[in-house]
Amino acid sequence: MNMDFALLAAMTAENDHINGRPNGSASISLDEIDAGILRVLEASGRASNQEIGDRVGLSPSAVSRRIQTLESAGVILGYKAIVDDSRLGRGMTVFMRVTLERQSATALSTFETAVQKAGSISFCHLVAGQYDYLLQVKTADISQWERLYRETLSTLPGIARLESNFSVRTVVDSGKPTKLLKLP
């Protein structure tokens, strides 16, 4: 079964361009083997081509070629380690909802540039709905968060309102493979 990503690619092409990723406007079809490779890499990004090949029924060189194709097409964006933030003194997670004074292209761009330069923000998403952005910040404790809020977050340009929610515990983490999109 092939999966056509043309619609998804068209919807994300502008976002890809802004974030420096390969242009997503070209469609790509994944077959069952590609999907299997992605599942293995999501579960274990350090799996060798031999290990992946054993799981999907290909030689290591064929796995390597397919991974290079998936990387070139922008399906695989990179590889990263999953780190235990609490062991690094970042055990407190705060989600912040941001409402801007204006939603013009200039206001959005100015805010996004400042967020990218802030360095203390784990993620920032432009969202639809009542708020404009959702941020995630990781700190050691409430006093470090308060200092970060006062010195950095509250000084971001164009903010009309900031609301914070403190995470009690993580239930699902993005470092784990998702089952939301059923690949072949």
User: According to the model, what pLDDT value does residue 83 have?
Assistant: 82
Q: Which CATH number fits domain 3-72: 1.10.10.10, 3.40.190.10, 2.60.120.10, 1.10.260.40?
A: 1.10.10.10
* pLDDT value, residue 89: 83
**Per-residue three-class SS string for the chain:** CCEECHHHHHHHHHHHHHCCCCCCCCCCEECHHHHHHHHHHHHCCCCCHHHHHHHHCCCHHHHHHHHHHHHHCCCCCCCCCCCCHHHHCCCEEEEEEEEECCCCHHHHHHHHHHHHHHCCEEEEEECCCCCCEEEEEEECCHHHHHHHHHHCHHHCCCEEEEEEEECCCCCCCCCCCCCCCCCC
pLDDT in the model for residue 26: 58
**Phi and psi for 99 in degrees, rounded to 5?**
-115, 130
Distance CA 103, CA 14 (A): 18
Residues of each domain in the chain carrying CATH 1.10.10.10 = 3-72
* pLDDT profile of the chain (184 residues), mean per 10: 31 41 61 92 92 96 96 92 83 95 96 92 94 95 94 94 94 62 51
The pLDDT, as a whole number, for residue 174 is 63
Give me the pLDDT at residue 7, please. 27
| 167 and 95 Cβ atoms separated by less than 8 Å | yes
Q: How far is CA 31 from the centre of its chain?
A: 24
pLDDT score of 17? 40
For the record, the structure tokens of 136 come out as 């995630």
Q: Which long-range contacts (CB under 8 A, 24 or more apart) does 99-106 make?
A: 99/130, 99/131, 99/132, 99/159, 99/160, 99/161, 99/162, 100/132, 100/133, 100/158, 100/159, 100/160, 101/158, 101/159, 101/160, 102/158, 103/132
Quick one: pLDDT at residue 119? Answer: 79
Q: What is 85-166's CATH topology?
A: Alpha-Beta Plaits (3.30.70)
Q: Where in the chain is the domain with CATH 3.30.70.920?
A: 85-166
**pLDDT score recorded for residue 81:** 83
pTM: 0.69
